Amino acid sequence: MTSPVQLIRPRRFGDARGWFTETYNRDAFAAIGIDCAFVQDNHSLSVPAFTLRGLHFQTPPAGQDKLVRCIRGRIFDVAVDLRRGSPTYGQWVGAELSAENGDQLFIPIGFAHGFVTLEPDCEVTYKCSGLYAPANDGGIAWDSVGIDWPIPAGVTPELSEKDKVQPALSDFDSPFDYDGRPLAPLA
């Protein structure tokens, strides 16, 4: 049984010109247990270093699986288990995603997603399995989960007004159900 959150390392084929990689292939992803149809692509630019976006999700029936990658710069990307009844509820996993390493993080429905930029001018793209639904837009406070964010001491992350007022995890009543797959460390 695979972990619901997966770190994906697409293979790069390089030569004197640079490299080529396949970032998504429906059949290859289905073979590793990721069997969703993506319907929306998002792209963000964060100019200041230590911009923090998250922790976000969409509630049922408009949940979104996400496939996240950093195409410029470096980010620390996280997923937090929000599935009620899960033995790993409230736990998180994270990985550095960068333009250089090409790694991607798959975050299924039932998990909050967020990231912090580790340098200026970071661009992040992600595929979503559901369309944006403002009535189902949700979040929890970035500092209420115990995430070990790689933010230097004394630095306050750049936050949106929305992210400054998200509820703490302890005040969150989850609408997500546990599917029998506990969160596992990223490989």
Is 56 noted as a catalytic residue in this protein?
A: yes
H/E stretch holding 28 reads helix 26-31
Read off the tokens for 38: 């993506």
Q: Produce one character per residue of 75-100: b if its CB has 16 or more CB atoms within 10 Å, e if not.
A: bbbbbbbbbeebebbbbbbbbbbbee
Tell me which DSSP letter residue 63 carries. -
Among the listed residues 89, 113, 126, 178, the single catalytic one is 126
Is 43 noted as a catalytic residue in this protein?
A: no
**Residue of 141, 151, 154 lying closest to 119 (CA atoms):** 151
Among the listed residues 24, 56, 89, 113, the single catalytic one is 56
Annotated catalytic residues are 56, 126
